[in-house]
């Protein structure tokens, strides 16, 4: 089937505005991950979902960041009152039911620019 | 926390040459994955090596794992310009599903 999709592919917003980033995982994948990658940097883990629950939110950088997942499928990452330092590529990945050897399948990312 | 750290940070070679990238990590793992990223977008899984494996091959890729040294290497043989990308190793953190990525090795293969 289709791979992981993310929307929008690019988002430009003004400082202080809220943004919503969407991730559609591969059908049947119960695990979903959000990462952030700043220019020239590695991937920074944000949050992990297993089904609709988030057992690991440890990477969310502040309370302006939140995420939810409904129906064990689509996930939305919301950033409130965006700041310039939030500018980055936000990547979503999914994998099959958690197991020891989990290969993660990544979406193309959303490039967020906060002016 | 657990982290994969790649070395070198950047590597430039000529087409046809081999490219070797190294990864070090800090704690015991049960597997380690390598990913590739083109143009700062989504990552693509390349290969997974289990802790009881010392070497694994996939096409032109060869991965080694030395758990005693907590290190892994990725070798790309007979490189092509299309291999130009950033390469990341990803050891899992503890026994979790959470992968921890380093900054990657940026490989440039010149035609």
> With an 8 Å Cβ cutoff, is B56 touching chain A?
no
Pairing, β A110-114 against β A44-50? unpaired
Helical segments of B2-57, H only = none
Give pLDDT < 50 ranges for chain A.
Answer: none
Measure Cα distances from A43 to A88, B14, B42, B76, B99 in Å.
10, 28, 11, 23, 10
Count how many pairs of residues, chain A against chain B, have C-beta atoms within 8 Å. Answer: 56
Cis amide bond preceding B48, omega within 30:
no
Cis amide bond preceding A8, omega within 30:
yes
pLDDT in tens, B52-91: 999 999 999 999 999 999 999 999 999 999 999 999 998 8
Chain A nearest-CA distance from B111, in A, is 24
Check B43 against A41: CB less than 8 A apart: no
Sheet with B5-7, edge to edge strand ranges: B5-7, B19-24, B71-76, B61-66, B55-58
Cβ neighbours of B103 in A, within 8 Å: 40-42
What is the pLDDT, as a whole number, of residue B2?
A: 47
> With an 8 Å Cβ cutoff, is A112 touching chain B?
no
CB proximity list for A21: less than 8 A, separation 6 or greater: A6, A7, A8, A11, A76, A77, A78, A79, A90, A110, A112
What confidence tier does B1 reach under pLDDT thresholds 50, 70, 90?
A: very low
Q: How far apart, in whole angstroms, are the C-alpha atoms of residue A106 and residue A4?
A: 6
Check B45 against A103: CB less than 8 A apart: yes
What is the pLDDT, as a whole number, of residue A101?
A: 61
Alpha-carbon radius of gyration of chain A: 13
Q: CB-CB: which of B31, B35, B44 is closest to A101? A: B31
In contact, B63 and B56? CB cutoff 8 Å? yes
Q: How far apart, in whole angstroms, are the C-alpha atoms of residue A34 and residue A15?
A: 22
pLDDT in tens, B13-63: 999 999 999 999 988 888 899 999 987 677 999 999 999 999 999 999 999
> With an 8 Å Cβ cutoff, is B87 touching chain A?
no
């Amino acid at each position: 089937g289709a791979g992981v999709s993310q929307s929008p592919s690019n988002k430009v917003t003004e400082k202080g505005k809220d943004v919503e980033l969407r991730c559609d995982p591969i059908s049947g994948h119960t695990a979903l991950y959000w990462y952030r990658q700043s220019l020239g940097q590695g991937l920074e883990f944000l949050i992990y979902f297993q089904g609709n629950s988030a057992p690991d939110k440890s990477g969310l950088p502040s309370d302006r960041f939140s995420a939810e997942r409904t129906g064990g499928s689509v996930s939305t990452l919301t950033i409130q009152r965006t700041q310039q330092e939030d500018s980055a590529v936000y990547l979503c990945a999914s994998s099959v039911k958690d197991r020891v050897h989990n290969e993660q399948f990544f979406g193309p990312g959303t490039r967020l620019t906060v002016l | 926390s657990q982290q994969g750290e790649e070395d070198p940070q950047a590597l430039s070679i000529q087409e046809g040459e081999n490219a070797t990238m190294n990864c070090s990590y800090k704690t015991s793992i049960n597997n380690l994955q390598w990913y590739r990223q083109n143009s700062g977008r989504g990552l693509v899984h390349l290969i997974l090596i289990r802790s009881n494996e010392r070497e694994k091959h996939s096409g032109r890729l060869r991965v080694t794992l030395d758990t005693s040294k907590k290190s892994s290497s990725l070798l790309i043989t007979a490189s092509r310009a299309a291999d130009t990308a950033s390469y990341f190793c990803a050891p899992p953190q503890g026994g979790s599903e959470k992968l921890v990525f380093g900054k990657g090795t940026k490989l440039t293969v010149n035609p």
